[in-house]
Amino acid sequence: MEHKILLVDDEEGIRKVLGISLSDSGYQVLSAENGEEAFRIFIKAKPSIVLTDIKMPGMDGVELLRKIKKESPDTEVIMITGHGDMDLAIQSLKSDAADFITKPINDEALEVALKRVKEKIALKRQLKEYTEDLERLVEEKTARLIEAERLAAVGQTVAGLAHAIKNITGGLTGGAFVLEKGIELNNEKYLHQGWEMVRNNLKKIKELALDLLAYSKERAPDYRLCDPNEPAREVASLMRLRCEKEGVSLDLRLEEGLPHVWLDPEGIHRCLLNLVANAIDACTDLSCTPGEGKICLRSRRPEGWAVEYQVEDNGCGMDEDTLQKVFQEFFSTKGSQGTGLGLMITKKIIEGHGGVIEVQSRKAKGTRFVIRLPEKNGAS
């Protein structure tokens, strides 16, 4: 490969002689008579090698070297020194000059210096190619791994899904049977029981479908600057009625005047809705017969975060074992009543915001979920 070389010397004679000699050796030669001119040419022509005199009026060789190295660290610079320029020569080596040769220039010494520089350039180029190759390889492998993981997740989902649907089908079959007996025997009890079973299972399948839809649908989050209390207020008004029906109190404690936050309001709405719905379930679970159910939805601005939401209940609570598993898909504490997708979706949304979700819980005391969103949206 033909190297472009920039020759810098204030003595015209040297430029001429060296120029001819370098051209003969197959270099494309550019020349300049001082540092300023050299740097201008350098910027335009980007030679791979620069051969410069150290002592020149105006910008000297060392200064030129530093400017070139700052601009293009891969350019190799060979210094030409006169007698008694040893200090400058050492200084230039410290500034990452490739080599130096002394005046009067010996052709052989120049040739050796140039050869070494060319080898260095070739090596660097090779290394760069390897690195880029490696980066590409890593990228490819990563993409393939992510794909494999996604497929595994889908496989898991199919098994879990089949189980959930089988459960509901069982309920519907049973419900239909009881209902039929009710009609057949004109039995009020069977009619009510059967109808209740059918209705409950219809509700279950509807919830499952909605959850799955939310999980599979790659809804691009719609991030914008908005009032972080807005989704919390929406969720509170949406759940108010259900809370009253279930005899649970819902306390909304939002810090007023919070600055706007970069978030996906629909996503956050869904997260808070999931958490409040879970809290209601925890407060009304008959198997742990808690006292009067209380839920509190809070917002505040803690140090270092844009906003924090808390959903706290005094319901059933969970033990350590359960806590470990709450964010897994198809894990549900609600038996056949839950799909096991809600918290997983919630976590996915919060992580999409670059935020964190944490849970604290004590059996028979209650549970608190905390969501924190970062100051600057860390979403990728």
Partner 1 sequence: MAKKVLVVDDELDVRTFISTLLETNGYRPIVAMDGKEGLEAARQEKPSLIILDIMMPKESGINMYRALMTDPELKEIPVIMLSALSKKTFFHSQKILDEYKGEKIPEPAAYIEKPPEPDELLDAIQNSLQ
- Smallest gap from Cβ 330 to partner 1, in A, equals 14
Q: Which residue, 194 or 228, has its beta carbon nearer to partner 1?
A: 194
Q: Is 338 in the site for partner 1 (CB under 8 A)?
A: no
> Residue 285 has what DSSP assignment?
-
Dist CA 288 CA 333 (whole Å): 13
Q: Which residue, 257 or 335, has its beta carbon nearer to partner 1?
A: 335
CA within 13 Å, CB half, 311: 26
Calculate the CA 95 to chain-centre distance.
38
Place of tokens 């009890």: 189
Q: Is 200 in the site for partner 1 (CB under 8 A)?
A: yes
With a CB cutoff of 8 Å and minimum separation 6, the contacts of 10 are 33, 34, 53, 56, 57
Specify the amino acid at residue 242: R
Identify which of 218, 214, 206, 215 has the alpha carbon closest to the alpha carbon of residue 153: 215
Place of tokens 């497929």: 151
Q: Is 199 in the site for partner 1 (CB under 8 A)?
A: no
Q: Is 300 in the site for partner 1 (CB under 8 A)?
A: no
Q: Which residue, 201 or 339, has its beta carbon nearer to partner 1?
A: 201
Site string (158-197) toward partner 1, x via CB under 8 A: -----x--xx-xxx-xxx-xx--x---x----x--xx--x
Q: What is the DSSP string of 326-351?
A: TTSTT--SSGGG--S-HHHHHHHHHH
- Smallest gap from Cβ 198 to partner 1, in A, equals 10
Identify which of 99, 66, 101 has the alpha carbon closest to the alpha carbon of residue 83: 101
Q: Which residue, 117 or 197, has its beta carbon nearer to partner 1?
A: 197
Beta bridge partners of 251: 296
Among 157, 310, 328, 336, binds partner 1 (CB under 8 A): 336
Q: Which residue, 28 or 173, has its beta carbon nearer to partner 1?
A: 173
Q: Which residue, 170 or 378, has its beta carbon nearer to partner 1?
A: 170
Q: Is 34 in the site for partner 1 (CB under 8 A)?
A: no
- Smallest gap from Cβ 226 to partner 1, in A, equals 43
How many chain residues are in contact with partner 1, going by CB under 8 A?
A: 21
Q: Which residue, 304 or 335, has its beta carbon nearer to partner 1?
A: 335
Q: Is 155 in the site for partner 1 (CB under 8 A)?
A: no
- Smallest gap from Cβ 171 to partner 1, in A, equals 4
Q: Which of residues 92-151 bind partner 1 (CB under 8 A)?
A: none
Dist CA 262 CA 375 (whole Å): 8
Element (H, E) at 353: none
Q: What is the dihedral of CA 315, 317, 322, 325, to 10 degrees?
A: 70
> Residue 2 has what DSSP assignment?
P
- Contact between 306 and 353 (Cβ < 8 Å): no
Q: Which residue, 87 or 196, has its beta carbon nearer to partner 1?
A: 196
Residues near partner 1 (CB under 8 A) are 163, 166-167, 169-171, 173-175, 177-178, 181, 185, 190, 193-194, 197, 200-201, 335-336
